[in-house]
Structure 1
């Protein structure tokens, strides 16, 4: 179990990343607190991009902001293709999808028990 302070931190981090995605026109944002469901990370963000170029632009912006915040980036997957980009920020995982890929993999269904965080 995670302490209340850590949980507050995660919620704030989710909201901040969500606001960055919103700034750059990320669509259908879903912020999830998965701390009660995962031992590996505490937050998940799902966002839809209008095309691969937009997805890469969203990822670039998040990477720039992560650097500014001095947060740890553990991994970046899928950037080349731009259909599904995953950014591993250690305690938060960000997924940026094209709409059809997001529908096909339905991560919302996988994380249906997670607590939604309002932006």
Structure 2
């Protein structure tokens, strides 16, 4: 996924009121993706909506998502765009898993 599409995805998340948007560059540290985007949605409906908007933005830019997981529950939606993986999480889930800390520790190692 190009840097331009990454910027569009984060812009859509911001426009749709996604909170605490984090973009983590994992190039050279991770074999399955280049960027991880983590964003908080305020409710199940909001999480699902943000995940859907990310998938739609990718499609508008000619990229079919490799996978979308978690839409039925709406607590944690993962959208796999190949070079970028987007995690949309409810606050309690984000706090519990703390993915940012996992990747920041990995980045420092």
Q: Same-fold call, TM > 0.5?
A: yes
Instruction: Pick one of 2, 26, 32 that aligns with 1:34.
Output: 26
Instruction: Pick one of 57, 61, 66 that aligns with 2:58.
Output: 66
> Helix, strand or coil for the counterpart of 2:46?
helix
Displacement after TM superposition at 1:13 (Å): 3.2
Displacement after TM superposition at 1:69 (Å): 0.5
State the 4+ residue runs in structure 1 displaced beyond 4 angstroms: none
Structure 1: where are the runs of 5+ without partners?
1-5, 115-119
> Helix, strand or coil for the counterpart of 1:64?
helix
Output aligned runs, 1:17-96, within 5 Å. Answer: 17-96=9-88
Which has the larger displacement, 54-63 or 79-88?
Answer: 54-63
Do 1:84 and 1:95's aligned partners in 2 also have CA atoms closer than 8 Å? Answer: yes
Distance of 1:85 and 1:67 partners within structure 2: 17
Do 1:14 and 1:31's aligned partners in 2 also have CA atoms closer than 8 Å? Answer: no
TM-score, structure 2 normalization: 0.90
Distance of 1:31 and 1:14 partners within structure 2: 9
Structure 2: where are the runs of 5+ without partners?
none
Count of residues paired in the alignment: 107
Displacement after TM superposition at 1:95 (Å): 0.1
Distance of 2:7 and 2:58 partners within structure 1: 14
Displacement after TM superposition at 1:15 (Å): 2.2
Which has the larger displacement, 54-63 or 90-99?
Answer: 54-63
Distance of 2:32 and 2:44 partners within structure 1: 28
